[in-house]
C-alpha cells in the first residue's frame, strides 16, 4: 500500500512534511503530488491523486489529507484484504471525510469513472459528497468498508466521545471534516 497526498502551496507543504516524516517512520511509501490550478478544478484533487498512484504501480492507495499525521501503522489498509473501498463517514451526519482507501484492482475502475463524471456534473458539491453519490450508484460490485474514527481523528472533536481511543491518523488543520465550499451571501457582504 502507498499513501497518496497533495499540496497546492507552501502552507500545505509545511503540513505535509509531518505526514511524509510519519510515513517514512513506518516504512510506508508516499506519492506526494503538487497540484496547480492549471490541472483542473480543485474539487477533484483526491480523485486525480488516487488515479496517479493506482496507475503508477500495483499497490493499493490510501489518500490522506496533507494536514494529517500517522501515529500508528494503518493496519486495516495494510493487512486486511476483504474490501475494495475504505471510507470514513461521521456517524451523526453520514458525510464522508478524512482518508480514503482504494484497492488496486480492475473492479475499482467503474467507480473512478463514475466519481469523475459526478465531479463534472456537480462542481459545486464537495469532492467527498460526489464520491458518496458515486458509491450509491447501482452497477458496481465493490465491497465498501467504513474506516474507524481513529483513521479520521480530530482531537478536539473526538477525545471526549472516545476517551480510550488510540488514533491512527490525526488531522490538524480545520476540523478534519469535508464541508461544502464557502458561499458568499448574495448581498456581497460577509
92 pLDDT band, cuts 50/70/90, is confident
CATH architecture of the domain 2-171 equals: Alpha-Beta Complex (3.90)
Helices (H), the chain: 10-25, 45-56, 75-79, 109-121, 127-136, 155-158
41 pLDDT band, cuts 50/70/90, is low
Instruction: Extract the C-alpha cell encoding 173.
Output: 488543520
Give 134-161 pLDDT, tens digit per residue.
999 877 789 999 999 999 998 888 889 9
The share of the chain scoring above pLDDT 90, in percent, equals 51
pLDDT number for residue 178: 42
Report domain extents, the chain: 2-171
- Whether pLDDT at 13 is above 60: yes
Task: Report the helix count and the strand count for the chain, using DSSP H and E.
Answer: 6, 8
Q: Are 35 and 48 in contact (CB under 8 A)?
A: yes
Give CA–CA dist 127/97, Å, rounded.
Answer: 10
38 pLDDT band, cuts 50/70/90, is low
182 pLDDT band, cuts 50/70/90, is very low
User: Could you tell me which of 43, 182, 40, 46 has the C-alpha nearest to residue 122?
Assistant: 43
What distances in angstroms separate CA 5 from CA 74, 140, 189, one per listed residue?
Answer: 15, 26, 35
- 466521545: which residue's cell? 161
More confidently predicted of 93 and 165: 165
**Residue 119, number of CB atoms within 10 A of its CB:** 24
Amino acid at each position: 500500500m502507498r499513501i497518496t497526498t497533495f499540496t497546492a502551496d507552501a502552507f500545505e507543504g509545511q503540513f505535509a512534511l509531518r505526514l511524509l516524516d510519519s510515513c517514512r517512520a513506518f516504512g510506508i511509501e508516499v506519492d506526494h503530488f503538487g497540484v496547480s490550478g492549471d490541472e483542473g478544478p480543485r474539487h477533484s484533487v483526491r480523485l486525480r491523486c488516487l488515479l496517479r498512484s493506482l496507475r503508477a504501480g500495483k499497490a493499493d492507495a490510501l489518500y490522506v489529507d496533507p494536514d494529517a499525521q500517522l501515529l500508528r501503522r494503518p493496519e486495516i489498509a495494510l493487512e486486511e484484504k476483504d474490501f475494495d473501498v475504505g471510507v470514513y463517514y461521521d456517524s451523526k451526519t453520514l458525510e464522508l471525510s478524512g482518508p480514503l482507501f482504494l484497492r488496486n484492482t480492475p473492479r475499482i475502475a467503474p467507480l473512478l469513472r463514475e466519481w469523475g463524471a459526478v465531479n463534472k456534473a456537480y462542481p459545486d458539491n464537495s469532492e467527498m459528497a460526489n464520491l458518496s453519490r458515486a458509491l450509491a450508484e447501482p452497477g458496481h460490485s465493490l465491497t465498501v468498508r467504513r474506516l474507524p474514527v481513529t483513521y479520521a481523528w480530530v482531537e478536539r472533536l473526538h477525545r471526549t466521545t472516545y476517551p480510550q481511543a488510540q488514533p491512527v491518523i490525526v488531522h490538524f488543520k480545520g476540523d478534519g471534516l469535508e464541508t461544502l465550499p464557502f458561499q458568499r451571501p448574495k448581498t456581497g457582504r460577509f
